[in-house]
Amino acid sequence: MPPRVAAVHSSATHSFSKATRESITLLEGLGVEGDAHCGATVQHRSRVAADPSQPNVRQVHLIHGELFDALRASGHTVEAGQLGENITTREIDLLALPVGTRLRFGDAMVTITGLRNPCQQINDFQPGLLKQVIRTSGEGHVIRLAGVMGIVSRGGRVMTGDTIDIEMPPLPHFPLTRV
């Protein structure tokens, strides 16, 4: 199957989970219309406290739906939107994409900026869940599995069932790091 949107979510408040919607509207350079994280400058509370003038490179949060399958297999029940993502995908390895990859959803486009850095709120949501979405490799490298972040490069509507076209950035490719 081609890569596709499994679900879309938003929340006007800084709540941990986001409500599932029929569609969301991406606003170029800002994020998801009506979402608490929408804005040209940082909207995540911890980052606002550190420096509210920073550009918002975390306008859209995407998680691969296959993560929820893996979490179920480890004994956790997590549904789409509950980890705070705006777009839940299927059939795309988001974590393997390089920085600058563009994902097109119809007319809308998101440019991937980096990995989501999961925090303690995940354990507050479900004890033990943080260990499932952030791990350490045998070589001591931190592995983040809680999705990717991006900016809106072109606005438009995104709906469940939309196909996702992938446009790789020019070489050289750089691996995703936390943003």
Reported as a single tens digit per residue, the pLDDT across 59-93 is 999 999 999 999 999 999 999 999 999 999 999 99
What is the structure's pLDDT at 120? 86
CATH of 4-167, one of 3.40.718.10, 2.60.120.1030, 1.10.1200.10, 2.40.33.20: 2.40.33.20
Find out whether 154 and 165 touch, Cβ atoms under 8 Å: no
The pTM of this model reads 0.96
Ramachandran sector of residue 41 (left: φ over 0; alpha: ψ -120 to 50; beta: rest): beta
What is the structure's pLDDT at 48? 80
What is the structure's pLDDT at 174? 98
What is the structure's pLDDT at 86? 98
Smallest CA-to-CA distance from 6 within 69, 65, 70 is with: 65
Find out whether 45 and 119 touch, Cβ atoms under 8 Å: no
Smallest CA-to-CA distance from 65 within 98, 100, 38, 89 is with: 89
CA-CA distance, 61 to 96, in Å (whole number)?
15
What is the structure's pLDDT at 50? 85
What is the structure's pLDDT at 158? 98
What is the structure's pLDDT at 39? 96
**What tokens were used for 29?**
């350079």
* Domain ranges across the chain: 4-167
Question: How do the pLDDT tens digits run along the chain, 179 residues long?
Answer: 999 999 999 999 999 999 999 999 999 999 999 999 999 999 988 888 888 899 999 999 999 999 999 999 999 999 999 999 999 999 999 999 999 999 999 999 999 999 999 888 999 999 999 999 999 999 999 999 999 999 999 999 999 999 999 999 999 999 999 99
What is the structure's pLDDT at 52? 85
